[in-house]
Amino acid sequence: MECKILNNGVRMPLLGFGVFQIPDAEECEQAVFEALQAGYRMIDTASVYGNEEAVGKVIVRSGLPREEVFVTTKAWISEMGYEQTLSAFERSLVRLGLDYIDLYLIHMPFGDCYGAWRAMEDLYNSGRVRAIGVCNFEPDRLLDLCHNVRIVPAVNQIEMHPFTQQTEAMKIMSSLHIQPEAWAPFAEGKNGLFTDKRLVGIGQKYGKTAAQVVLRWHFQRGVVSIPKSVRKERIIENFAVFDFSLSQEDMELIARMDTGASTILDLHDPKEVERLYGIS
């Protein structure tokens, strides 16, 4: 598995498996098991997903050495604040059944993120977390956080796919030595991504699907990706992306697909913020 070296020296797999929107324990366990069998060595979950326990059970069941599986989880808005985040971490650790977490993230840039970050810095310094980072922090929020903390985030997990390429955000993250990670790397199938003629056409040159082309595009931009599927054949297919490379022409064609705007989660929309605060 190819890896990225985070700003604290920790190795993070370039490809992981996401479990967002798989709340059913049995289905989640089966999907994670299939992913580990296929070769994935990074699993991304969150307290708000309601499936940390299922993820932890499969990691134990897999028989893989703990150090071979990179586990990410996140603290939700209601878990922001120094004491609240420390408590949230303990709950996640118990549900996962682990002694430490590889990457712990602030899930949304709302609530007392600064108190939460101080807690995460202390967890990191105690060795119970190998790396800490954030999700959904746009450049202004990310810069503000970095100017007010002791430890700069190692990762920023954001919406990123061919229709939302985050070019300017990528530049800011690069200047801060923060690793970009794409959630919804397939845009949740919006805008007909899986049947897009441009992506399908590129794939035909390499005997690959549009989805495989998109993952390869992410990797060649230096972006970690966490595709999700509950179908065994798709889980295996998404892992088969390390045996080809896109040409510069391919990369430029995909670059022209960018809309310059979010297509899934607009955190500048007050209605969206209200919706997020309503999730427990």
* Residue among 64, 118, 129 at smallest CA distance from 90: 129
Contact (Cβ atoms closer than 8 angstroms) between residue 57 and residue 28:
no
- The DSSP call for residue 112 is S
What is the Cα–Cα distance from 107 to 133, expressed in whole angstroms? 9
Tell me, what amino acid is at 91? R
Alpha-carbon distances, residue 162 vs 58, 156, 262 (angstroms): 32, 18, 11
Q: 164: which strand partners?
A: 161
Given a cut of 70, the residues of the chain with pLDDT beneath it are none
Count of beta carbons in the 10 Å neighbourhood of residue 194: 14
> Given this model, what pLDDT does residue 265 score?
93
Q: What is the pLDDT of residues 162-204, one digit of tens each?
A: 999 999 999 999 999 999 999 999 999 999 999 999 999 999 9
> Given this model, what pLDDT does residue 183 score?
96
Joined together, the tokens standing for residue 59 give: 């990691």
Dihedral angle, C-alpha 241, 245, 249, 255, nearest 10 °: 40
> Given this model, what pLDDT does residue 120 score?
98
Model pTM score: 0.95
What are φ and ψ of residue 158, in 5° steps?
A: -135, 165
Joined together, the tokens standing for residue 69 give: 């599986």
Domain boundaries, the chain: 3-277
* Residue among 176, 211, 218 at smallest CA distance from 195: 211
> Given this model, what pLDDT does residue 164 score?
97
Query: Among the options 40, 49, 104, 124, which is catalytic?
Result: 49
* Residue among 95, 17, 19, 22 at smallest CA distance from 56: 95
> Given this model, what pLDDT does residue 23 score?
86
Joined together, the tokens standing for residue 106 give: 């602030």
Contact (Cβ atoms closer than 8 angstroms) between residue 25 and residue 54:
yes
> Given this model, what pLDDT does residue 100 score?
97
Joined together, the tokens standing for residue 92 give: 């996640």
> Given this model, what pLDDT does residue 1 score?
78
Contact (Cβ atoms closer than 8 angstroms) between residue 22 and residue 51:
yes
Q: Where are the beta strands (DSSP E) in 19-144?
A: 42-44, 70-75, 101-106, 129-135
What is the Cα–Cα distance from 230 to 127, expressed in whole angstroms? 33
What is the Cα–Cα distance from 211 to 194, expressed in whole angstroms? 6
Contact (Cβ atoms closer than 8 angstroms) between residue 203 and residue 194:
no
> Given this model, what pLDDT does residue 106 score?
98
Joined together, the tokens standing for residue 14 give: 């370039």
> Given this model, what pLDDT does residue 221 score?
97
Joined together, the tokens standing for residue 135 give: 């999700």
206 catalytic? Reply is no
What is the Cα–Cα distance from 165 to 154, expressed in whole angstroms? 20
Superfamily in which the 3-277 domain is placed by CATH: NADP-dependent oxidoreductase domain (3.20.20.100)
